Amino acid sequence: MKLKQFLGEGINDKGIFKAVFVAGHPGAGKTYVLSKIKSGRVEPRIVNTDKSFPLFKDIWNDDWGKIAVKVKSMNKKQLALYINSLLPLAVDGTANKTSVILRRSGLLESFGYDIGMVFINTDLETAIKRASKREREVDEDFIREAYKKINKAKSFYRSKFQTWIEVNNNEGELNDKAILHAFKFMGSFYHSPLLNPVGIEYRDEMRKNGWKYLDPNVRPLEEINKILGAWYKK
């Protein structure tokens, strides 16, 4: 394989400039559902703060505030590298704050990404039961409030994200048929033609010049990191 062909391989991969937001209330089972439906010929990179917490748990003796600052910094840098490489993403989060989802989806769109949403749903009792089994204790009142906010915002999310699917994850509902349906949805989205005009412009310019990454010619990595400073704002 010639060097130019090797360097240009990534820009021709499936799933570039595609991001799915996996949303739902605490205890909905978002991470579990995502693990069941994300695989295929396109393997999205998972964007999730919580998965990194155990790395620092023993170092700082359950000082969750200190851990959160470190994890957010680490994850922001990782996300910048993902975006620099145009990689397909799956953003795992609660979505209880509409403003946060809009900000994050807007940031990804500004980098050229098409966005979609998988909304994971359960009844309130199931959510409380599952959340009670987590290592990090979640207050029941918080779960109730988040549950109310997220379900109230669901119709808005559905109008915002034209690519949308809702997955019910009460006990026994996530059967093979439901998993296959969601799996096909994910695959269809990641393999669909790019629609974001920013992404199309970047992709075409990179293919023309044989560039593999946004940095340094399209969007410098320093600039990407600076813009992503807004990712974790409250």
Over the stretch 142-163, which tens digit does the pLDDT of each residue have? 899 999 999 999 999 999 998 9
Q: Are 157 and 101 in contact (CB under 8 A)?
A: yes
The rounded Cα 186 to chain-centroid distance in angstroms is 12
- When pLDDT is cut at 50, 70 and 90, the band that residue 73 belongs to is confident
- SS3 percent helix, strand, coil of the chain, rounded to 5, is 55, 10, 35
**Between 32 and 60, residue with greater pLDDT:** 32
Cis bond before residue 220 (omega within 30° of 0): no
Q: The domain that contains 193 carries what CATH number?
A: 3.40.50.300
Q: Which regions of 49-160 does DSSP assign to beta strands (E)? A: 89-92, 114-121
CA distance linking residue 168 with residue 152, whole number of Å: 16
In this predicted structure, the answer to whether residue 169 has a pLDDT above a threshold of 60 is yes
Judged against a pLDDT cut of 70, whether residue 54 lies above it is answered with no
Q: What residues have CB less than 8 Å from 218, skipping those under 6 apart? A: 202, 205, 206, 211
**What domain count does the chain have?**
1
Query: For residues 232 and 18, what is the distance between their CA atoms, to the nearest angstrom?
Result: 20
Supply the pTM of this predicted model: 0.87
pLDDT digits 0-9 by tens, 1-46: 444 443 445 788 889 999 999 999 988 999 899 999 986 788 899 9
Answer yes or no: is pLDDT of 120 > 50: yes
Mean pLDDT calculated for residue range 68-90: 88
Percent of the chain with pLDDT over 70: 85
Question: Rounded distance, CA 144 to CA 173, Å?
Answer: 22
Mean pLDDT rounded to a whole number for the chain:
86
Q: What is the pLDDT of residue 4?
A: 43
Please tell me the predicted confidence (pLDDT) of residue 5: 41
Mean pLDDT of 217-234: 92
Dihedral pair phi/psi, residue 26, rounded to 5° = -60, 135
Instruction: Please choose, from the candidates 130, 127, 108, the residue with its C-alpha nearest in 3D space to the C-alpha of residue 44.
Output: 108
Six token digits for residue 28: 């909905």
Query: Could you tell me the residue range of the domain that residue 193 belongs to?
Result: 3-230
14 is written with which tokens? 């499936």
Task: Report the alpha-carbon distance of residue 170 to residue 177 in Å, rounded.
Answer: 14
The reported pLDDT for the residue numbered 115 is 97
